[in-house]
Structure 1
Amino acid sequence: MTNSSPVSGQAFEYLDNVSPEEQRRLEAVRRYRLVDQPVEDAYDRIAFVAGAIFDTPIATVSLVEQDRVWLAACQGLSGVREVGKEPGLCASVIAQDDVYVINNAAVDPRTLEHPLVRGELGLRFYAAAPIRTHDGYRLGTVNVIDNRPRDASKRQLTALEHLAAMVSDELELRLMVIRSAAAEQRMRETVH
């Protein structure tokens, strides 16, 4: 079964194993047309600032798709644009409204067996704020990663939430441009 998005005219396949709420969230991710696109400066700057605030070697702006996490921006991991959704830290973040923090992943029961913890990356610290749209969908995260355990201050976590809100604002501007371009195209087609 397919349905057409009112924003883009694209057809999305509705899958039996995806809840209606998750399907609507995925449509919200796709309406901004950021997945599979080149890195844009606005998101790259936000990732940079997140890493600077926490003094971490890695910071990303991510969008959680159905079966992958698309990195709209990534500081500290060159050439990486997507990772698998499972087992996903970003997917855990979008399941809640609050900032998600792991101070020491090597001893945190949520991450003891996680491949990013046990593998080459050696993730120890992770903090992420969900990116929420103006209509309430959690699309992804602004997150910071370090290979050493640490604590985050309340001020740092609040800054991370503000950065996630800035991504949401950028996405809304992007959507306005998409809609304006579509309206202009429709006008041109009616004139000719």
Structure 2
Amino acid sequence: MTESTNAYEYLDNVGPEERARLEAVRRYRLVDQPVEDAYDRIAFVAAAIFDTPIATVSLVEQDRVWLAACQGVGGLREVGREPGLCASVIAQDDVYVINDAAVDPRTLEHPLVRGDLGLRFYAAAPIRTHDGYRLGTVNVIDSRPREATTRQLRALEHLASMVSDELELRLMVIRSAAAEQRMRERVN
């Protein structure tokens, strides 16, 4: 059985909204691909704006979170979806902020808080497609508690919008290449 068959079997077991969201994630063909400079730059800028050691651009798949770019944690490219901070972010439209994860009831028992990473601060903006799907996040992480400014959070939202714009450009290239391939097949 192929990976895409497994993905479609999973889609049979989720509701129509999640099915449509997962199909939107897949249409950009970014999961399981090498890091691209545009996303890496966005993660770098997010870390610089917040002065955090970690920032990522993530896409939330059915059972994992794919890190399209990651600053500050070496070659890490994916993490499990549960228990997921990114999965919590895509369930809402607003920026998600945890100022001190050690005392926040949403994260008290989270493995990233209790584990080696010692996560204390987390802020993430959902990446929303032009047709309204929340695919993932641009997020920043620190091992010390902190307060984010309104300006920083607004910048994070802008960075998430930039990711969305990059995804749309990527989709245009994918569709253009497919159209060219169909045209070549008709000619031959």
1:66 to 41, 49, 62: 62
2:94 to 90, 94, 98: 98
Name the Cα RMSD after superposition: 1.2
Could you say which residue in structure 2 is the equivalent of 1:75? 71
Offset at residue 12 of structure 1 (A):
3.3
Give the Cα–Cα distance (whole angstroms) in 1 for the partners of residues 23 and 50 of structure 2: 32
Offset at residue 79 of structure 1 (A):
1.1
> Mapping of 1:1-192 within 5 angstroms?
12-13=8-9, 15-192=11-188
Amino acid at match of 2:60: V
* Kept after mapping to 2: 8 A contact 1:12/1:27: no
What SS is found at the alignment partner of 1:13? helix
Offset at residue 15 of structure 1 (A):
3.6
Offset at residue 20 of structure 1 (A):
0.8
Aligned residue pairs total 183
Give the Cα–Cα distance (whole angstroms) in 2 for the partners of residues 41 and 154 of structure 1: 27
Amino acid at match of 1:52: A
What are the Cα deviations for residues 122-166 of structure 1, in whole angstroms up to 9, with x where unaligned?
Answer: 000000000000000000000000000000000000000000000
TM-score for the superposition, normalised by structure 1: 0.93
Give the Cα–Cα distance (whole angstroms) in 1 for the partners of residues 13 and 63 of structure 2: 12
| Higher helix proportion | 2
Give the Cα–Cα distance (whole angstroms) in 2 for the partners of residues 12 and 167 of structure 1: 26
Offset at residue 14 of structure 1 (A):
5.0
What SS is found at the alignment partner of 2:94? coil
What SS is found at the alignment partner of 2:8? strand
* Kept after mapping to 2: 8 A contact 1:51/1:75: yes
Amino acid at match of 2:104: D
Structure 1 gaps, min length 5: 5-10
TM-score for the superposition, normalised by structure 2: 0.95
Give the Cα–Cα distance (whole angstroms) in 2 for the partners of residues 92 and 39 of structure 1: 24
What SS is found at the alignment partner of 1:171? helix
* Kept after mapping to 2: 8 A contact 1:142/1:160: yes
Identity %: 90
Amino acid at match of 1:125: F
